[in-house]
C-alpha cells in the first residue's frame, strides 16, 4: 500500500540473512538492523551512509525544536 501512495518502505530490525532476503522479496526499499550495520553514535562514521543529509545542520535544527539527540 505504501508504494501505491509513493512512500518508500523501511524494514527495521533485520538481523539475519534470511530476514534480509525476505524484506527485499517483499519489496522494501530500505533496510536497517544489525545485519546491515551495528549502531553508531559517531556522526563521522555515519556521514558516508547519509551523503544527502547535512548531519550538523539537521542535528542543530532538531535540537532547536527541543528534541534530545542520542549521543
Mean pLDDT of 13-34: 93
Per-residue pLDDT band for 71 (boundaries 50, 70, 90) equals very low
Instruction: Give me the residue spans of the domains in the chain.
Output: 1-39, 40-71
Predicted confidence band at 21 (pLDDT cuts at 50, 70, 90)? very high
Sign of CA dihedral 11, 13, 14, 19: negative
Query: What is the phi/psi pair of residue 6, to 5°?
Result: 80, 20
In angstroms, the CA 1 to CA 25 distance is 15
- Asked if residue 43 has pLDDT above 90, the reply is no
Above 80 in pLDDT, residue 12? Answer: yes
**Which SS3 state, helix, strand or coil, does residue 46 take?**
helix
Amino acid at each position: 500500500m505504501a508504494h501505491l501512495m509513493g512512500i518508500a518502505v523501511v524494514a527495521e530490525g533485520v538481523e539475519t540473512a534470511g530476514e534480509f532476503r525476505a524484506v527485499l522479496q517483499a519489496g522494501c526499499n530500505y533496510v536497517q538492523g544489525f545485519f546491515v550495520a551495528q549502531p553508531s553514535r559517531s556522526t563521522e562514521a555515519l556521514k558516508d551512509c547519509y551523503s544527502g543529509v547535512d548531519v550538523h545542520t539537521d542535528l542543530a535544527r532538531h535540537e532547536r525544536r527541543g528534541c534530545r539527540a542520542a549521543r
